[in-house]
A and B are shown apart, each in its own frame.
Chain A
Amino acid sequence: MIPVNEETKKTRKPCLQVAWNVQVYDKDDKLIKEKSGQNSLLVAFATKMAGLFYDTTSTYKDITNTNRNAIQMSPQGQPNGIPCAGYGYGLTTLGIVLGTNNTAVTADDYKLNTIVANGTGGGQLLYLAGASIGVTTAAPVSSFVIDRIMINHSAGTITIKELGIYCLEGGAAATICLCRDIIADPGVDIDDGEYMYVRYTISVTT
């Protein structure tokens, strides 16, 4: 085992990593832009993990800056995990979401700063349903992917500068931001008629 000290804190990569990749395709499905980055898990993710292990006391903030209890995930007929894929057509309350504000990430962020709304109006994108793919294991790495497509039919250009993953907390019908990442200026443009394919890869390495 590797001891935790000031040196290893600087050099060691996190055990569970989250990497993102965004690709922009034109109306002919031709890849025209791509960017990648990694690792902006927020404190809400650790609290959600505690909730999965039946921590009944801890709280964290939803996207309205309201405290929620970690265990409040599963009233009857509501999600019983930390769902953020497999659903969500037209919704910006769960799944991968995009924004236009690249203010630096802090671990206490609880939402995207300026989310792009769903729709075809000015500055809006059409959010398709998200999905999850995997698990894929090739020792020593095991990973899975959460992805989503957003289409620009707004008649204008939308510049993406932040992205993240929202999950639904069923207990209070609230939304939690699990991770937030930023794209440095000038961001990534999605022109009218183009679409963005966003992929988050979650992995561990033994």
Chain B
Amino acid sequence: MKNIPFESPKPIGGLDFIIKIKGKEYYMESPLENYMAMLKAAMTYASPYTGVCEYAESAKCKNTSNVARSACSYYNGGTNYNWANASMPAAGTSTWGIQIGSNDTAVVITDYHLNTQIAHGSGAGQMLYGAQTITTGGVSPNKYAKIMRTFTNNTANPIDVKECGLVAYPYCSGIGPDYIMITRDVISPTITVAAADTLPIEIYLQTTS
């Protein structure tokens, strides 16, 4: 057998997940198994006759309550629901989109939720969740999709932020839209958000050279 081991031309790159916090950029430790299950489903026809894609394998995809879910990118009635239920999370919605938490337990690829999510609100230990946006940009070869959300400490005391996650809201077979965490990262060093201060977080899904 003639076996030529590895191709030599320089690769262009893959896809990086980069988080920008307080003006500093970091490579993310995520994404999670949930993300891979949903991506694989989105890249595979369930049937060429119906033209729809697969649902994610439920054994590899859990919602934020640790319940198995068959998630997919969904179309119905003229609307592309995709992974975000045809919307972006509004201000005050903390069940999906970018989330923040206060527990720095190490990331495991099968994580399905933040360990200790910081709730939305103005009470002790709470932060206000702003509306989320998504845009694309960058200069080739570093083009990106940017998901952005700003959190505000409306309490009288500082709050430590130690973890961050991105929760999608895809259609799930037999259920309807449900919350699926696709990235989780421990923020190190810890970010302390002073009273009345804001914490903008940007997540970049970026092609890399």
Name A residues whose Cβ lies closer than 8 Å to a Cβ of B.
Answer: 1-4, 8, 12-18, 30-43, 45-47, 49-55, 57-58, 70-71, 73-87, 102, 104-108, 132, 134-135, 137, 139-144, 146, 167, 170, 181-184, 202-204, 206
Please tell me if B196 contacts chain A, counting CB pairs below 8 Å: no
Decide: A206 and B30 in contact? CB cutoff 8 A.
Answer: yes
Q: List the one stretch of B10-18, B118-126, B150-158, B172-180 in contact with chain A.
A: B10-18
Question: Is B64 located at the chain interface by the 8 A CB criterion?
Answer: no
> Are B82 and A52 within 8 A (Cβ)?
yes
**Pair A184/B168 contact, Cβ less than 8 Å:** no
Query: Considering the complex, which residues of chain B in the window 30-70 have a beta carbon less than 8 Å from any beta carbon of chain A?
Result: 30-33, 35-37, 39-46, 48, 50-54, 57, 60
Chain B residues in 8 Å Cβ range of A40 = 11-13
Contacts of A38 in B (CB 8 A): 11, 14
Q: Are B80 and A16 in touch, CB under 8 angstroms?
A: no
Which residue from B3, B109, B187 sits with its C-beta under 8 Å from A140?
B109
Q: Are A108 and B9 also in contact (CB < 8 A) when A15-B16, A76-B78, A139-B108 are?
A: no
Please name the residue on chain A nearest to B83 by beta carbon.
A52
Q: What are 16 A-B pairs at a CB distance below 8 A?
A: A1-B185, A3-B27, A4-B25, A15-B15, A15-B27, A16-B31, A35-B7, A40-B12, A53-B83, A80-B51, A80-B82, A83-B43, A107-B142, A107-B143, A135-B60, A206-B30
Contact B185 A79 (CB under 8 A): no
Give Cα A204–Cα B45 distance, bound, in whole angstroms: 22
Decide yes or no: A8 and B27 within 8 Å by CB, A43-B207, A50-B136, A70-B136 being known contacts: yes
CA–CA, A36 to B31, complex, Å? 25
Question: Do residues A55 and B136 form an inter-chain contact, with CB atoms below 8 A?
Answer: yes
Assembly CA distance A36 to B7 (angstroms):
6
Interface size class of B (residues with CB under 8 A): 35 or more
The proximity string for B residues 110-135 relative to A, scoring 1 for CB distances below 8 Å and 0 otherwise, is: 10000000000000000000000011
The answer to whether residues A1 and B188 also contact, given A105-B12, A141-B109 and a CB cut-off of 8 A, is: yes
Q: What residues of B have a CB within 8 angstroms of the CB of A140 in the complex?
A: 109
Q: Given the complex of chains A and B, what is the CA–CA distance between A77 and B77 in angstroms?
A: 11
Are A4 and B50 in contact, with the CB atoms below 8 A?
no
B178 to chain A, nearest CB (A): 16
Known: A47-B145, A137-B36. 13 other contacts (CB 8 A): A16-B17, A33-B2, A40-B12, A43-B143, A43-B207, A50-B145, A53-B82, A54-B88, A80-B53, A81-B41, A84-B44, A106-B12, A137-B60
B62 to nearest A CB, angstroms? 12
Contacts of A135 in B (CB 8 A): 33, 36-37, 40, 57, 60
